[in-house]
């Protein structure tokens, strides 16, 4: 999806909320890339709004750690070094493993059926079918987010759905495009769900941790490939 797809004029009264939605989507879907400078003039033109609401939206994304301000350079999409990204995934493995353990004990059969329906929708997505990426939506459309919220632990949910998930989503789209990874990730989600249906917290946590480790390995492979290409250039 091109950033120009978000350029239709805003007609609702809450311009800040709509500007925030469009700007966040552009960042999370990779139209605005990590490290890219955010030009208020250019973005206001593309989104068809004044710079005031856009500036406030940028400020809110700064609070979510998706945007950072650099002295004498202005605002830009946050950029993580390879080491920082790997460290983030190590933390994610522990926290999501715990969330999956708790959710396994709390979710009803109907809840698990809803997860299964979600995965079927993911499987039918044309982008995944074509092998171009595994692009989940936000909120209830996100497999990991649904499990995190089902853990029932408010502090754990805050830790996962705050800065951690925002930063993970920033890189998820690009890194999920490694050949073969989209289908592998979907298959691993199904393994996690099957483990949760056994009502064995140890098995469910192990399945989630294995999935996150596989994601980390995919990240390391992508970063190594990009580094090698940069050295050739």
pLDDT in tens, 140-181: 778 999 999 999 999 999 999 877 888 887 777 666 667 788
Tell me the mean pLDDT in the region 68-86.
89
Which residues constitute the domain of residue 15? 3-77
In whole angstroms, what is the distance from residue 100 CA to residue 188 CA? 13
Last residue of a domain, one of 77, 97, 127: 77
Last residue of a domain, one of 77, 101, 119: 77
In whole angstroms, what is the distance from residue 172 CA to residue 28 CA? 8
What total of structural domains would you count in the chain?
2
pLDDT beyond 90 at 121: yes
The residue count of the chain comes to: 233
Residue 81: pLDDT band with limits 50, 70, 90: confident
Domain co-membership, 72 together with 92? no
Percent of the chain having pLDDT more than 70?
88
Domain co-membership, 168 together with 226? yes
CATH code, 90? 1.20.120.530
Residue 227: Cβ-neighbour burial (10 angstroms; 0-12, 13-18, 19+):
exposed
Residue 195 CB coordination number (10 Å)? 21
Tell me the mean pLDDT in the region 105-128.
94
Residue 196: pLDDT band with limits 50, 70, 90: very high
Closest residue by Cα to residue 48 from 6, 3, 2: 6
Contacts of 44 (CB under 8 A, 6+ apart): 50, 51, 54
- Residue 230's pLDDT is 63
Domain co-membership, 146 together with 43? no
- Residue 233's pLDDT is 59
């Amino acid at each position: 999806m091109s950033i120009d797809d978000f350029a239709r004029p805003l007609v609702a009264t809450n311009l800040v909320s709509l500007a925030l939605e469009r700007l966040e989507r552009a960042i999370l879907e990779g139209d605005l890339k990590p490290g890219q400078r955010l030009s208020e003039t250019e973005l206001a033109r593309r989104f068809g709004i004044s710079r005031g609401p856009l500036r406030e939206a940028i400020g809110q994304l700064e609070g979510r750690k998706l945007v950072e301000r650099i002295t004498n350079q202005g605002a830009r999409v946050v950029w993580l070094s390879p080491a920082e990204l790997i460290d983030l995934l190590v933390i994610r493995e522990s926290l999501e493993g715990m969330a999956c353990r708790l959710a396994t004990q709390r979710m009803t059969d109907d809840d698990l059926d809803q997860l299964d329906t979600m995965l079927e929708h993911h499987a039918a997505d044309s982008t995944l079918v074509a092998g171009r990426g595994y692009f989940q939506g936000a909120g209830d459309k996100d497999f990991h987010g649904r499990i995190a919220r089902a853990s029932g632990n408010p502090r754990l949910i805050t830790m996962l759905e705050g800065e951690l998930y925002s930063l993970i989503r920033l890189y998820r789209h690009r890194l999920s495009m490694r050949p073969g990874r989209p289908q592998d990730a979907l298959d691993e989600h199904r393994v996690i769900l099957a483990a949760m249906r056994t009502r064995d917290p140890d098995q469910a946590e192990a399945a989630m941790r294995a999935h996150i480790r596989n994601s980390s390995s995919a990240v390391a492979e992508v970063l190594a490939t990009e580094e090698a290409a940069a050295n050739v250039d």
